[in-house]
């Protein structure tokens, strides 16, 4: 598939950008650890995709495990490190709702619709969702995106069309980056 700067990239956070904590939430910066190769991958993907967004369910806030201010502090530090590595994220969208019926909680499409309102140039048919769960794949599919599953041990059935990679870096490398640039 040929991507260019008219395409948008949507990334889940936990499990794609950073290591997911088993049965817990990343509540402080000292619990946040980038997955191997993520910083390099985002920097290179930025040279291809016109826009890069993070769309992440953060129910730990809704459950009282952390505050919005603590979440924002994690995101500020994450964005600083991404920028220092020559990457860039256009905007982070997150849902703190606990209830799965919230229109903003993936797999529901609310965060995608807000992104489209903020960035009208987004075309979902020219967008890619990279996530590590079935809710990420359904979110992308429900918006008409191409879907990339980052390897998870969730035993996800292939009820949705998606390609699978072990890491974001592996996905980036699959694009034959040297042939594009």
Residue 44 annotated in active site? no
pLDDT, tens digit, 9 for 90 and up, residues 67-101: 999 999 999 999 999 999 999 999 999 999 999 89
Strand partners, 129: 10, 147
The CATH-assigned architecture of domain 8-180 is 3-Layer(aba) Sandwich (3.40)
CA atoms within 13 A on the CB side of 111: 27
Give residue 149's Cα distance to chain centre: 11
- Listed by start position, the domains of the chain span 8-180
Answer yes or no: 14 catalytic. yes
pTM for the whole structure = 0.94
CA 143 to CA 138: how far, in whole Å? 8
Reduced to 3 states, what is the DSSP secondary structure of residue 42?
helix
Catalytically annotated residue among 4, 12, 118, 161: 12
Measured distance CA(25)–CA(9) in Å, rounded: 24
- The catalytic residue among 4, 14, 90, 136 is 14
């Amino acid at each position: 598939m040929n991507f260019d700067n008219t395409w948008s990239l949507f990334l889940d956070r936990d499990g794609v950008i950073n290591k997911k904590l088993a049965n817990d939430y990343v509540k402080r910066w000292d619990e946040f650890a980038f997955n191997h190769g993520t910083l390099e991958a985002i920097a290179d993907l930025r040279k291809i995709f016109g826009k890069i967004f993070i769309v992440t369910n953060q129910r730990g806030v809704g459950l009282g495990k952390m505050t919005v201010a603590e979440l924002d502090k994690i995101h500020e530090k994450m964005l600083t490190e991404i920028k220092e590595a020559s990457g860039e994220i256009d905007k982070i969208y997150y849902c703190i709702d606990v209830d799965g019926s919230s229109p903003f909680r993936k797999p529901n499409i609310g965060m995608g619709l807000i992104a489209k309102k903020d960035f009208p140039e987004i075309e979902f048919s020219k967008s890619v969702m990279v996530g590590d769960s079935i809710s990420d794949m359904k979110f992308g599919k429900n918006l008409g995106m191409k879907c990339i599953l980052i390897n998870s041990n969730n035993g996800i059935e292939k009820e949705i069309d998606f390609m699978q990679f072990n890491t974001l870096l592996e996905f980036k490398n699959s694009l034959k980056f040297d042939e594009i640039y």
